[in-house]
A and B are shown apart, each in its own frame.
Chain A
Amino acid sequence: MKILKWLSVGACALAPAVALGTTLETVQSRDSVRCGVNAAQPGFSSLDDNDTYRGLDTDVCRAIAAAALGDAGKVDFVPLDSVERFTALQSGEVDVLSRTTTWTSSRDTTQGMHFTGVSYYDGQTFMVASDLGVQSAEELDGAAVCTQSGTTSELNLSDYFRINDMRYDAVVFDSPEQSIAGFEAGRCDVLSSDASQLYAQRMQLANPDMAVVLPEIISKEPLGPAVRQGDDQWFNIVKWSLFAMLNAEELGVSSHNIDEHADSDNPDIARLLGQDGNFGEGMGLNDDWAYQIVKQVGNYAEMFDRNVGADSDIKIARGLNALWKDGGIQYAPPIR
């Protein structure tokens, strides 16, 4: 995969300066959405027994394909590591990056990309071996910490240890698989990453009880899909695909009951499902764009429960990711 980084640098050098059509036109003529995802992160993007990518991030891609092409299956998943992900998006290798990527100001302003929203509110924390008997992150002075290259985790870690006046040795790996292998081999006392990822990695350990995740959350990690700058139409499509799923959950519309709402009296549902007005037109989509998302992929609650929540192995509580009216902070602007 390293070759991709170098290739895309070359591509930047040779590609003609004029963009060829909009992203939506490219996607429609190719008849698939190219979506950059994690290679193996259970709950967010990993291969199931049928060699199909499953997870919250991949379902976001499917929702975009359902809106843009009317078929949630028309997604080409491109597995990317954390180092090559931005170059892949910048160079047009992928149409959208949905790869547990933290939304930060510098990524929005200097890397030629825009985040479209937050699909999962996360935060960084620590996992330690149970037999160390550590209860709090403040006891970690002098620890060796495994983390992943090129992530915000690497920066948060350095800030956290500095402001708490503690020392640490950073052992930096390229991929989550290598960092968990380093942790299991005892190269480091602590594995640090986003909480969701640590819970998933803990399940991958030979014996999950050998490690505990510490309670402290040391950073804000809003994860979401990102697109290239300069194509507002595609930006809107990706942004509103996620909002449509949140609105559907808020209105009680799910993949199971959506057809019962065919002639809804609720004006919000009627607008969501394209029965009243055509809110897809402004994005160059059909009026049933949101219907297709909910029908084929489901609403936000279905996506969450299936991949990381109650119905999954990881069983993460909704927490911050509950809807605003249920005590969380997931809030979508209305469709109207």
Chain B
Amino acid sequence: MSVRPNARPAGHKPPFWRDRAKRALVFQLLLTAAVAVFLLYIVGNVQDNLSARGITTGFGFLNNTAGFGIVQSLIDYSSQATYGRTFLVGLLNTLLVGGLGVLAATLIGFIVGIARLSPNWLLARMATAYIETFRNIPLLLQIFFWYFAVLRALPSARDSMAFGEVIFLNVRGLYLPEPLFESGFGLIPAAFIVAIGASIALCVWNKRRQEATGKRIPAGWISLVLILGLPLLITVATGVPITWDVPELRGFNFRGGFTVIPEFLALWMALSIYTAAFIAEIVRSGIQAISHGQTEAAQALSLPRNLVLRLVVIPQALRVIIPPLTSQYLNLIKNSSLATAIGYPDLVSVFAGTTLNQTGQAIEVIAMTMAVYLTISLLVSMFMNWFNARVALVER
């Protein structure tokens, strides 16, 4: 081994342009400055242009009265509320359809994905047909299909389909009785929380016991009974402190109760069914990525088929499934903005549609809307990355 002669006497530093690290730092500073100047130029230019064209700017409009109605709102809203409130209403409606869409798509996707691998010929072919149909038709058309096809098939308000005289279905939506809570109701959610806590403790204890002794009790079933039974027991014990607001036909439409509007149903169905087709393929590829030897080994231990899946295959498949699953969740949430096509009052329809048009402040409204989608997507991404890190293979 040769030793490189030290050319420079100690203590003498090279000029900074000879130092690779410092040179890189200078270039990065220059680039950052250039980007910052460019952004400042754009912002300044927008402001100059807007004021030159006599267009109002700023976020003051959020405090003005909106003056228009919104058909579905999770919070109190009237046409006398502010534009800021319309933003919240739209945001919550987007989160509602996005959240429920993710749940339903995951459920359907896992079922169909596993069904496609089933040894049952009919089941496997039906799953294939489902995937190939819904994956290959544009989502917007599917939304229109569920909306207009289903709308036209449903009866008018006066000829509603009634289920036990408390639930009604017609072209205006699904009308459900709404629970009204009386005093003493607080005990029921408390019982629910206690039951969940007890179930978790039971499962942990059961797992430790199994690891120690090899014996297990059916903790899943016990938990289910606990979670459903305890609140029910308390409800009966406290004399049922709930009254139901049952919808009834008054004038044109049903009043009272809780309404699920057809726009929501159509959008939710379309998003879930469409995304589930992709998720099913992801699940199938994840399961097939697990070497067949694993399944055979598990079967050799005489585990039944459902336990082979649950204990051996799916935990390993999840490592393959989760990263592409994240993308599908993000797609679903962003696709929910197609709501505007059928008049579901989501963020794009209410805020980037009506509010934008009534105030004319396109830049502020669009910037806020884009920021919301970006934030939601990043949060979902963060959560899924955390979950992925948890299930990832820990190499030793």
Contact = CB atoms under 8 A, between A and B. Distances in A.
A82 B42 CA distance: 28
A90 B366 contact: no
B17 interface: no
A270 interface: no
Contacts of A235: none
A228 B354 contact: no
Contacts of A178: 341-343
Contacts of A149: 340, 343, 349, 353-354, 357
Interface in A129-180: 132, 140-144, 149-151, 154-155, 157-159, 161-162, 168-174, 178
A334 B70 CA distance: 46
Nearest to B43: A13
Contacts of A87: 362
Contact of A185 (B67, B148, B359): B148
Interface in B11-59: 42, 45-46, 48-50, 52-56
Interface stretch (A4-12, A197-205, A253-261, A283-291): A4-12
Given A12-B49, A17-B52, A111 B360 contact: yes
B171 to A, nearest CB: 5
Contact of A13 (B45, B56, B358): B45
A142 B358 contact: no
Contacts of A171: 71, 263, 343
B184 interface: no
Given A155-B67, A159-B67, A169 B366 contact: no
Contacts of B171: 185-187
A105 to B, nearest CB: 12
Interface in A77-136: 82-83, 86-87, 90, 106-107, 109-112, 132
B48 A144 contact: no
A36 interface: no
B172 A144 contact: yes
A189 interface: yes
Contact of A154 (B46, B68, B252, B253): B68
Contact of B52 (A106, A132, A141, A230): A230
B151 interface: yes
Residue among B172, B340, B357 with the most chain A CB within 10 A? Answer: B357
A182 B148 CA distance: 8
B15 to A, nearest CB: 40
A12 B46 contact: yes
Nearest to B251: A142
Interface residues of A, number: 55
Contacts of B359: 110
B109 interface: no
Interface string B68-81: 11110000000110
A14 B148 contact: no
A13 B69 contact: no
Given A83-B353, A174-B353, A141 B358 contact: no
A15 interface: yes
Given A82-B357, A87-B362, A154-B354, A230 B67 contact: no
Contacts of B349: 149, 172
Interface in B230-257: 250-253, 255
Residue among A86, A87, A107, A149 with the most chain B CB within 10 A? Answer: A149
Nearest to B44: A17
A1 to B, nearest CB: 12
Nearest to B79: A158
B152 interface: yes
Interface in A29-86: 82-83, 86
A181 interface: yes
A187 B172 contact: yes
B62 interface: no
A170 B78 CA distance: 11
A229 interface: yes
A147 to B, nearest CB: 9
B258 to A, nearest CB: 14
A267 to B, nearest CB: 39
B71 A170 contact: yes
A162 B79 contact: yes
Contact of B360 (A107, A173, A230): A107
A146 to B, nearest CB: 8
A230 to B, nearest CB: 6
Contacts of A83: 353, 356-357
Contact of B253 (A86, A143, A158, A182): A143
A150 B362 CA distance: 13
Contacts of B342: 173, 178
Contacts of A111: 54-56, 360
Interface in B153-180: 156, 171-172
B151 A86 contact: no
A187 B49 CA distance: 43
A189 B252 contact: yes
B50 A12 contact: yes
B67 A13 contact: no
Given A82-B357, A142-B252, A186-B151, A158 B68 contact: yes
Contact of A17 (B48, B251, B341, B345): B48
B68 A112 contact: no
Contacts of A173: 342-343
18 contacts: A16-B45, A17-B45, A83-B357, A90-B360, A110-B56, A111-B360, A141-B251, A143-B252, A150-B354, A158-B79, A161-B69, A162-B80, A169-B69, A172-B343, A174-B343, A174-B353, A185-B171, A186-B156
Given A5-B366, A111-B360, A187-B172, 9 more contacts: A13-B363, A19-B52, A111-B55, A141-B252, A142-B255, A155-B68, A169-B71, A172-B343, A174-B343
Closest 9 CB pairs of A and B: A150-B357, A170-B69, A158-B79, A111-B360, A112-B53, A112-B55, A110-B56, A142-B251, A229-B54
